[in-house]
Every structure is written in C-alpha cells, then in structure tokens.
Amino acid sequence: MVRTTVSFIALSLFAVQAAIAQSLESGVYKIYDSYRENSFAIGPVPIVYPPLDVPLRLLPAGSPMVNRWHVTRTSGDRYTIIEGDGRSDNYKIIPMGDNVFVSATGPPREWSITEAGDGQFVIQIPNQDSIVTAHEGEDVFPPLALEPANGSPNQKWKFVRIDFDDSYHWGSYHRKGSHNRLCAQE
C-alpha cells in the first residue's frame, strides 16, 4: 500500500513536470535560432504611413536591432507574439503565404508553440504542417519561411525570457528586486 502510494506520487510529480516542460509561460522574450547565434528581428522597414507588412528576419544575436517579443498564451499551446511593449499598434508576427511577416496594422495571429526538447520549441500555424523555418542563403538577414516539419535545427527556437516588474520602460529591464537580469525559460 505504501509502495503504491509512493509510486503514484512519483508518477504524478513526473506528469506535472512533463506538463510544465511542454508549455511556454506568457512573458517577454528574445527568440533565438537553435544555436543562439541569430534572433528574430524586424527590418528593414520603409518609412511610410501606415507601416507596411515586412518579412520577419534573423539578425545576429548581439545586434542592437534585435527585438523583444511579448509572447501571450491564448489557450493550450496557442500564443500571440507581439513586438516591443505588446501594444496593439506594435508589430505582430503573422503568416503571409509561405513566409513569416510582421504587421503593425493587422490583428495578432495565433501560433502553436510546442516543446521540441533541449529547451527548444517549434513555432507553427495551429493545426497545419507549416513550421517557422530559418534559411541560410545569399541574404545577409534571411527572412523566415513556413515549411512542412522536417525535424531539422532550423525549425527549432530558443526563448530567452526577460523578466521585469511593472516599472518597465525601454532600457530598464529587470526582475523585481534585481536589475539587468536575464533568465532562460526552462
């Protein structure tokens, strides 16, 4: 009886840990490729009003043009991904044909974000075999595409959470009680 209870508790804890590991918390993140060499970024953007929809690109991780993304769970494994401070007039990551774009004028779109192991995640259009995929090519800042799942590293992403308190403003990222702290989502 005691052995059965202990086994049940151990299995329950394992199930809870597995459930936690499979989901991403809502928060502010930098989103990196699986090697953490490049990060999601917007640009170049033509200076026009209203702002045009432009391709989401990868820039070197240390670039000052790398964006911060508000990742908000809407339900289950579904999220919206909005740049900057998450306001509705900020750029939102959207699918456009076989490509991944950002739009300042359109509504946010839901994305399915699921764990792929080793702290990496797959981002895809919900209920479709359309995975956000990085490509290396002749373009210095390659745009992202939507492709069928193939399990390759160029379809896996790392989310590095940037925690801060309610006094958040540009240039002042910190956790409550601690300044300039970055922590990886685990």
User: Per residue of the chain (186 residues), what is the pLDDT tens digit?
Assistant: 555 544 444 334 333 334 444 589 999 999 999 877 899 999 778 889 888 999 999 998 888 888 999 999 999 999 999 998 778 889 999 999 999 999 999 999 999 999 999 999 999 999 999 999 998 766 677 889 999 999 999 999 999 998 654 434 444 333 343 333 344 443
Residue 6: predicted pLDDT: 40
Tens digit of each residue's pLDDT (9 = 90 or more) over 40-90: 999 778 889 888 999 999 998 888 888 999 999 999 999 999 998 778 889
pTM for the whole structure? 0.75
Give dist(CA 160, CA 70) in Å, integer. Answer: 12
Q: Give the strand pairing for 157-161 and 111-117.
A: unpaired
Amino acid at 69: W
pLDDT computed for residue 88 by the predictor: 81
- Of 69, 77, 147, 145, nearest in space to 112 by CA: 77
Would you list the domain boundaries of the chain?
38-157
Q: What are the backbone angles phi and psi of residue 155, rounded to the nearest 5°? A: -115, 10
Q: Give the pLDDT confidence score for residue 68 in this predicted structure.
A: 92
* C-alpha distance from residue 74 to each of 71, 145, 157 (Å): 10, 23, 20
Please return the burial class of 61, using the count of CB atoms within 10 Å of its CB with bins 0-12, 13-18 and 19+.
middle
Question: For the chain, what percent of residues have pLDDT higher than 70?
Answer: 73
**What pLDDT is stored for residue 153 in this prediction?**
94
For the structural domain made of 38-157, what CATH number should be given?
Answer: 2.80.10.50
